Chains A and B, each alone.
Chain A
Amino acid sequence: MKPGELGVRFGPSRRLAGVLTPAHGAQQPVGCVLFNAGVVHRIGPHRINVQTARALSRQGIATLRMDLSGIGDSAPAQSTLEPRAQALADLQAGMSRLHEVSGVDRFVVVGICSAAEHAYALALEDARVRGILMFDGFAFPTPLTRPICRFRRLLRLRVATLPRRVTQAIMDGDAGDAASLSTVLVHPAPSRDEFRAALDQLVDRGVAVNIMYSGSVLERHSYSWQLHHAFRGARFLDDVDYAYLPALDHTLVTKAAQREFVERTVDWAVRTARRNGTTAPLASASA
């Protein structure tokens, strides 16, 4: 019988909540942490974290899907940390819990929307992070982004509603310059130079970085190779996984989008695990 999942409380005073999914079969040397996208509890948008965790388990990767302080089933924090620092402390507690149960001490962290920003910050702060996946995280428009966005919108117009929709299509393109795609958090997004330096640092450290953009953020990311245009000549570009996926939407509403997200995530996580050495021994798992 395959090992079952386990609901856990952990962290300071066990205020945090999560569900551990053990590796099925030979365990890979990295574990995976999944957590909230915005205010959606740990199962993720349309249960994508559950699907991802179970698919990773079948590939030998143990996961913890968890709620950050004050979200889902986790109690509010009692510390005075500002929200970003608290989120990182929570995620570090999650990695430690997963280590206690599975024995792995290296991790990949998957972040959707606001979670992508936390994953990015965590990777810069904690050397245990060996991979981050950022889905609709920071975006960096180029001079081509808005014209392509508007052009693609115009192609979709129907003649009968043309005047109104032309106006709407053009107006929708003027969405400002903020790089963060999250509508939940207000942390300042990194500048291009900061992002470039951070990504260079991460890939130099051997951190696997996966950057994906959905078809829901056209105003900020509207074509393949946009990342390469935004960071022309940057060193990190040769080492990151990057994809513009217009068939997927921001919250993965369709089952087809969910399948593609899970497949891409598992493929990347397994490749990352293989880059991180030999299979870890199965821990004597007890919660």
Chain B
Amino acid sequence: MTATAVIDSPDARALMRSVGVPLHFGPVDRRLFGMLHEPASGGDARERVLLCPPFGQEAVRLHRFFRVLAERLSRQGALVLRFDYFGTGDSEGSDADGDYGGWMADVDAAQAVLQERGPVVPVLWAGAGLGATIAMSAAARVAAPPARLVVWEPVIDGRAYLASLRERHVETLEASYSLWDPSWRRALTRRPDAFTAEAVGFAVPVPLREAIHAIEPDGVGRDLPCDIDVVADPENAPVRAWAARLGGRVRQVTPLANDFEWTAEELRGAALVPTAALKTLLSLCAT
């Protein structure tokens, strides 16, 4: 099999520009999957946008959101790359291979794809959840950092995030099985080591867990080489306080009500692509 998909008709080219062309990139032993959305007009890109997905079930839940966001940005003249970190989505590897440092390198590899393509126009990174945190960590280390970052509900307190994942894991088990097991909740309360190795369907290997555990508000975004826009729920006081402490690098903090469950297994009437979130991210990602 060859490494790239064949595009062989004008209609197909037009469609691909809108809905994305699948591609594989990265080192041979760390092949990553991505979807590249070219400017729908067929002209040169006005900007380049890299979308960094969140972790685990959150990435599954937000897949459609990121696809629609990418399509809309492409219609506004952007070159957009969505991708999966190693061991996630359609990328090579298993979820047991997940590691924070490797995912930072994956952001760098994805950035290289964008840099290889299109004219020299600003590159913006947008990340959600843990993806926002990974993007901030990577931006401080890569040779060619983005011109700007958009971070939506970044994880700034790793311990709190891991605790929320444990809680959500047990809630998911209780919702999913017809016969819930009371020992699940007892273990959640009484045994700190229970439900730490996996979270809502995805493995959380020890190195990844330790890396997330080490995420603290004072460390996140400390060495940012670019300006950031923060998107957070009005009631997310920790993130708002963190953004205030970052000071001048933060262009603005945009309130966005968190009105859907990021780890939901089923929609249960919720919108697959929340309109307010789409409008907010679109406006912040467009230059």
Contacts and interface: CB of A to CB of B under 8 A. Distances in A.
Interface of A: 1, 3-9, 13-15, 17, 19-20, 22, 38-43, 45-47, 50-51, 72-75, 101, 149, 152-153, 156, 158, 183, 215-219, 246, 249-255, 258, 285-287
A158 B202 CA distance: 30
Interface of B: 1-3, 5-7, 9, 11-12, 15-16, 18-24, 28, 31, 33, 35, 57, 60, 63-64, 67, 88-90, 92, 94-95, 169, 172-173, 176-182, 197-198, 200-203, 265-267, 272
Contact of A14 (B12, B64, B203, B267): B12
Nearest to A149: B178
Contacts of B12: 9, 13-14
A73 B178 contact: no
B219 to A, nearest CB: 30
B92 A216 contact: no
Contacts of A50: 89-90
A1 B3 CA distance: 14
Nearest to A258: B201
Which 5 A-B pairs have CB atoms at the shortest separation, nearest pair first? Answer: A7-B22, A46-B201, A218-B178, A249-B176, A14-B12
A251 B265 contact: yes
Nearest to B265: A251
A250 B5 contact: no
A4 B1 contact: yes
B177 A73 contact: no
B67 A73 contact: yes
B181 to A, nearest CB: 8
* Interface core residue of B7, B60, B169 (most chain A CB under 10 Å): B60
7 contacts: A7-B24, A42-B90, A46-B200, A46-B201, A215-B178, A250-B176, A253-B265
B33 to A, nearest CB: 6
A255 B201 CA distance: 7
A19 B22 contact: yes
B179 A253 contact: no
Contact of A47 (B21, B22, B89, B169): B89
A5 B201 contact: no
Given A14-B16, A218-B178, A287-B6, A7 B33 contact: yes
A73 B20 contact: yes
A17 B179 contact: no
Contacts of B3: 4, 6
Contacts of A74: 19
Contacts of A6: 1-3, 5, 24
Given A5-B90, A6-B3, 10 more contacts: A4-B24, A4-B31, A7-B33, A39-B64, A47-B60, A72-B64, A74-B19, A156-B179, A218-B179, A255-B203
B64 A251 contact: no
A152 B179 contact: yes
Contacts of B22: 7-9, 17, 19, 73
A20 B6 CA distance: 14
B59 to A, nearest CB: 9
B19 A43 contact: no
Looking at B11, B12, B23, B177, the one whose CB has the most chain A CB atoms below 10 A away is B177
A22 B89 contact: no
Contacts of A251: 176, 201, 265
Contacts of A219: 178
Contact of B89 (A43, A153, A216): A43
Contacts of B23: 7
Contacts of B21: 9
Contact of A183 (B90, B202, B266): B266
Contact of A249 (B35, B90, B173): B173
A166 to B, nearest CB: 15
A281 to B, nearest CB: 16
Contact of A287 (B1, B92, B94, B265): B1
B5 A38 contact: no
A215 B7 contact: no
Contacts of B178: 149, 153, 215-219
A47 B202 contact: yes
Contact of A254 (B89, B173, B182, B272): B173
Contacts of A7: 5, 22-24, 33, 35, 90
Contact of A286 (B2, B64, B67): B2
A287 B23 CA distance: 12
Contacts of A254: 173, 198, 201
A90 B94 CA distance: 28
A41 B19 CA distance: 14
A41 B201 contact: no
